Amino acid sequence: MARHFVRSEVLAARPAPRRPFDPIGWLSTNLFSSPLNIAATVLSVALIAKLLPPALDWAIFDAVWVGSSREACVGPGVGACWAFVWAKIGQFIHGHYPVGERWRVDLFFVLFAAGLIPMAIPRVPFKRLNAVYLILALPLVSLLLLYGGVFGLRVVPTSQWGGLLVTIIVAAVGIATSIPLGILLALGRRSKMPVIRMLSIAFIEFWRGIPLITVLFMSSVMLPLFLPPGVDFDKLLRALIGIALYASAYMAEAVRGGLQSLPRGQYEAAGSLGLGYWPTMRKVILPQALRVSIPGIVNTAIALLKDTSLVIVIGLFDLLGIIQSNFADSNWASPATPATGYIFAALVYWVMAFAVSRYSLFLERRLDVGRRH
């Protein structure tokens, strides 16, 4: 007869004990537990009471929702001029892309979403095929679709691209190229080969040491002076290269943080199994290091998404740029127009950044990043 020192069967789960909801108790523990807490509560409520009604009045109740020109948004007590955003929304999305060709941009958004959304949902199968589509097929198809010149599509030079299209292209290309580049640089920086290590360090420190705005200025103002006349690099391409190199330096440091968190034992264990450098990295080190690096990588990605608005200094119109340039439309110039435009831009950026941030949290939970070694 076997003796059990521990329970051999799992007890049936019981529901949590019900606690009667006690509003006064909840308030006294959460809001009024100490003098400091009471002061903070009173102050917060007073602030909300002071700021929220005017903000709501401005943004919703006194706002102008329909109208065809500035006349609608001028006058005493008029709030936000949403009519301006509504009249210009096509430009905010497509930039100066010719109106008759805007379907090509819309189709690009659909193709992009069709690649990204299934990739992001773990349950959806065919991940390998999906990755090939995202990394190889989509950029090529998008380029042909957006630039044109084939299959009877009109050529639309990149100078006419703009709005959300440019924001998404710059951010997506920047993030997609900087992650692999960053991984290589991070490995290079920890390499035992001095030349590779020195080159990686030099690269990372150079790009981290200069502001992005300088990179963009250099690419658009200085570079043409060095090129022979008649040779003209595409401005969008120059910005893409500059931003990708800049972001890869930051990605490299985020990944290096992950690499350093791994104990030496992992390398030694891989070595004792007879794995070479690349198999060690691919099968043992990187899967663990990248998982730890997710918060850093996402941080850099979100920063990059917002930094795309700097491309306006070189005359590219991303979302913020096209909104700003529309402030100069004399048909819509009014006291409320700039504020409304900026708030709209902030909303769009916030939605995108928040989505990325929530997805990374989901990914962290799924990969169990918080697990202790």
Partner 1 sequence: MRHLLIALAAFVPLAGIASAEAATLDDVMARGTVSCGVHTGLLGYAAPDNAGRWAGFDVDYCRALAAAIFNDADAVTFSPLSASERFTALQGTSVDLLARITTWTMSRDTTLGLNFAAVNYFDGQGFLVRRADGFTSAADLNGGSICVQTGTTTELNVTDFFAANNMTFNPVVFERIDEATAAYESGRCDAYTSDASGLYGTRLTLASPGDHMVLSDVISKEPLSLAVRQGDDQWFDIVKWLHNALLNAEELGVTSENVDEMLNSENVNIRRLLGTEGTFGESIGLSNAWAYQAIKLVGNYGEIFDRNLGAGSPIGIARGLNALWTNGGLQYALPIR
User: Partners of 163 in the beta sheet?
Assistant: 318
End-to-end CA distance of the chain: 39
Q: How far is the CB of 87 from partner 1 (least distance, A)?
A: 6
- Cα separation, 322 vs 163, whole angstroms: 6
Q: Is 229 in a helix, a strand, or coil?
A: coil
Tell me whether residue 329 or residue 364 sits nearer to partner 1 (CB atom).
Answer: 329
To the nearest 10°, report the CA torsion of 83, 86, 89, 92: 30
Is residue 236 within 8 A of residue 161, CB to CB? The reply is yes
Q: How far is the CB of 247 from partner 1 (least distance, A)?
A: 22
- The residues of the shown chain that bind partner 1, judged by CB under 8 A, are 70, 74, 76, 87-88, 90-91, 94-97, 99, 157, 159, 217, 220-221, 224-225, 227-230, 232, 312-315, 317, 321-322, 324-331, 333-335, 337-338
Tell me whether residue 163 or residue 258 sits nearer to partner 1 (CB atom).
Answer: 163
What is the identity of the amino acid at 117?
Answer: I
Tell me whether residue 103 or residue 126 sits nearer to partner 1 (CB atom).
Answer: 103
Residue 157 CB contacts under 8 Å (≥ 6 apart), including other chains: 147
Tell me whether residue 70 or residue 189 sits nearer to partner 1 (CB atom).
Answer: 70
Q: How far is the CB of 249 from partner 1 (least distance, A)?
A: 25
Tell me whether residue 277 or residue 327 sits nearer to partner 1 (CB atom).
Answer: 327
Longest dimension (CA), the chain: 95
Phi, psi of 317 (to 5 degrees): -105, 95
Tell me whether residue 153 or residue 290 sits nearer to partner 1 (CB atom).
Answer: 153
- Cα separation, 322 vs 161, whole angstroms: 10
Q: How far is the CB of 212 from partner 1 (least distance, A)?
A: 15
Q: Is 75 in a helix, a strand, or coil?
A: coil
